[in-house]
A and B are shown apart, each in its own frame.
Chain A
Amino acid sequence: MSRWHKKGLLVVTILLISFLAGCAYKSVDKRSFVVSVGVDPAENDDDRYKVTLKIAKPIASLRQATETEYTYLTTEAETVSEAIRILETHNDKVVDFSQAKILAIHHELLSGDLQLLMDYFTRRGDIQLIMYVAAAKPSAEEVLKVEPILEAAGENTLYNFFDDTGTESPFVTTSFLFEFRRDVLTFGKDAVLPIVRTSKNKDELVINTALVIKENHEPVDLNRTQTKLYNTFMEGANGYGYQAHNSGYIFTLTFDRAKMNYKLGIVPGQTPQADIKVKAVGAISQSNKTLSLNRLPEYSEVTNKELSKEMEKLFKKMQKEKVDPFGFGLRYRATRFHTDQIEEDWNEIYPDLVFNVQSDVKLKSLGAIK
């Protein structure tokens, strides 16, 4: 009867399993998907954080939907997790964070202790580490609530900004959650977050500046030019919008490729030096004068001077503010064997570091006219 025994065993197993099953069974229409999370300082003195969740409403037919369908939940609490727990009671469906793509943090929160703020997001396994992190001005709630006119149903404008499938502007810094965590925790490199601002009438989002963030340190603002330079040479962004004013020329340039290499020349007893080489290939897209093809090397030279100057200014500013978004400190650690006082050494070296910027821009074309 062994065959019958086997069959019996199978039936019993299946029955047992069927009783067990079903506890994790949550149909997709019984979940509400959080697409963005915003964290602000609390207005109420008893609490610490104000958390805003942007939740996508399921739409039966995306094609026929005329406007975007989002709903917002906001509450205040002592910690982020507590706020989210409260918000879960405001909703009849399971709050699902697995599709959350944007984490907007109020710019003032970025100066204090980041540990408590970030812990929840990196500890939860179901929150993706490739979430985009951004600093929000005037507040995360207002930034999330902007629904631009150009936004179609089912779309998330903020996401289109960061994700490279939409706009690819050299002004937009992107920072993934894992990158942000890594850079904040690393000695010798500081994180850079984009600043997302709302326009005056609150129907547009503007992203063209950035913020350098170091734990327990005031965030340092990068202006538009600096943001652009950082994005171009650290994140490999390129495109329109580089300007060169020099020797009477005013150029607007497009870069196709750009990269930066640097070497630290640090010998005890000598002034520490950083030799920075900046390379770019591009074209002129606008000029205030008539140009001639055979003078391209000259235009390149004009650009070089301008670029070197700008870069040096940026490095010096960072040095003065005691932040290091370019990772010079990490490079220092990466090029010599570890000792216990390596971090203090670097803290002493960095303020005296001299930057020698050498730029090598190769302009290849003048566009369609001379």
Chain B
Amino acid sequence: MPDSTPVFPPYMKSLQDALGSSSDVVQLPLAINKAEAQLLFVKTVVEGSIMQDTIIKPFYEIADTEKFAEYLNGMPNHLQIPDSEEVLKKLVQGFVLIYCNENYLLLEIRKLKNTVPLQTVLESTIHGPQSAFSEDLETNIGIIRQHYHQPDLFIETMELKDLSSRAVALAYDRKKVNTQVLRRLKEQLRQIDEPLIQSAGDLAIRLTPRKLNIFPVSLLTERPDRTIYNITGGKIIVIVDGSPFVIMAPVLFFDFMVSMEENYHTFFISLFNTILGWTGLMICLLLPSFYIAFASYSPEVLRTELTLSIAGSRIGVPYPTFIEVLIMLLFVELLTEASIRLPKSINATATTVGGLILGTASVEAAIASNILIITIAAVAIANFVIPINELSFAIRICRILLIAFTSLFGLIGLISGFLFIIIHLVNIDSYGQPYLRIPWRDKSSEKEVGSG
């Protein structure tokens, strides 16, 4: 049967040469009766069973080159051939090149990984949905679509120009989105010139032109409900393939202080939670600096009893207050970091042991005062009340700035530093939108202040 052996088409040959002799590149000839076809694919990224069901089996059932070609043309996942550079890229992404009836055809039979929605880890709620996004782009788009049944929901996909050629999708409500922001965001996405981008967090940082940022100007979330909530607010969602987080932009500072839990409770409970969150933020930011200010510069502010108690508990502490505070803060930061790195099963032990022993021992050894230990503990707890992790990192940095201001200038330095942070927040913008402003429901007044 000499003519039943399929002829290896030259174009496919050149492609195979370009791919090299990797062990997972497969060139598969199919032939039955007169019919013949050639397949070229990378087997590690192609879903074998789907290929079996939709290409190989039908081929043998149809057993006719022309009919098979028609069948292929009728499939929804086929793609016309772009140039060979592009074809190579498609092949490594999970496309199958088919030569049949003297025609080349690309079929997408991508092996899907990690399509299972994950559990919420970072932003867990009690009453809200418990599942987060998955690590697959299409599954994630599917999740958004399923939660937001509006024809105005618009999805745009594009590909990053870096080595990973990661697929990225923009999702937004066409009627609600701010077109200026959209234009700006797309421009930024196009301008990215970074050799490798691996996750949403990575991308979010590259999307901002300023490099020396403390505060994040876009929000990362793993929660579909938060995503939908923000789409209805006119925000743009950037989904990155392979990352369980999506990016939201533009954001206000206040968006970082919203826990989704608040939407699932009655008014007063959520009000209480909001107040708790803000109190936590303030404690976390200000308390160590207040300690320095009160213990070193302005003891007259506090009540006599408390002042004397601070004075008493500082007996024997050799360092000035700001060094005392920095030492204890360092310990707490280390504990926090350690508990993130450690496996879940031991970290509780590590933090408890570390925290308890360090606290008591440092008071015993007169390295730190009792009141400071209370302060630092309150700060450490308050840190975790902030709903979005990114913000809580930013606050930890600002805290050090405030400590510096207070150590230099006392209570006035603290106020000055606090206002400095506010002015800084007002000054930065998220894709052209002011970052910190009071979000009034009625936007008419906002528009009066023209964009100048």
Contacts and interface: CB of A to CB of B under 8 A. Distances in A.
A128 B311 CA distance: 20
B312 A60 contact: yes
B315 A60 contact: yes
B297 A24 contact: yes
Interface string B330-343: 00000000000000
Contacts of A159: 304
Given A58-B312, A59-B312, A154-B308, A25 B320 contact: yes
B300 interface: yes
A154 B309 contact: yes
B317 A101 contact: no
A62 interface: yes
A27 B320 contact: yes
A33 interface: yes
Name which of A18, A26, A58, A62 has the most chain B CB atoms within 10 A of its CB.
Answer: A58
A225 interface: no
Contacts of A149: none
Contact of B299 (A59, A60, A62, A96): A96
Given A18-B408, A56-B308, A62-B309, A29 B300 contact: no
B407 A21 contact: yes
Contacts of A62: 308-309, 312
B3 interface: no
A33 B307 contact: yes
Contacts of A59: 308, 312
Interface string A52-64: 0000101111100
B310 interface: yes
Given A24-B297, A99-B304, A31 B311 contact: yes
A68 to B, nearest CB: 11
B119 interface: no
B244 interface: no
Contacts of B321: 27-28
A29 B296 CA distance: 9
Name which of A18, A28, A62, A156 has the most chain B CB atoms within 10 A of its CB.
Answer: A28
B312 A61 contact: yes
A88 interface: no
A332 B82 CA distance: 102
B315 A28 contact: no
B60 interface: no
B280 interface: no
B313 A25 contact: no
A284 to B, nearest CB: 39
A241 B381 CA distance: 51
Nearest to A159: B304
A91 interface: no
A28 B407 contact: no
A98 B312 contact: no
Interface in B30-78: none
B314 A29 contact: yes
Contact of B311 (A35, A58, A61, A98): A58
A126 interface: yes
B418 interface: no
A368 interface: no
A267 interface: no
Interface in A19-46: 21-22, 24-29, 31, 33, 35
A74 to B, nearest CB: 21
Contact of B295 (A28, A96, A99, A156): A28
Name which of B295, B313, B410 has the most chain A CB atoms within 10 A of its CB.
Answer: B313
Interface string A70-113: 00000000000000000000000000101101000000000000
Contacts of A25: 296-297, 320, 407, 410
Contacts of B297: 24-26
B408 A28 contact: no
A98 B299 contact: yes
B304 A101 contact: yes
B409 interface: yes
A33 B409 contact: no
Contacts of B295: 27-28
14 contacts: A17-B408, A21-B408, A21-B409, A26-B297, A28-B296, A28-B310, A33-B311, A35-B304, A58-B311, A60-B315, A62-B309, A96-B300, A99-B300, A101-B304
Instruction: Please give me the 3 A-B residue pairs with the lowest Cβ-Cβ distance, nearest first.
Output: A98-B300, A58-B311, A58-B312
Interface of A: 17-18, 21-22, 24-29, 31, 33, 35, 56, 58-62, 96, 98-99, 101, 126, 128, 154, 156, 159
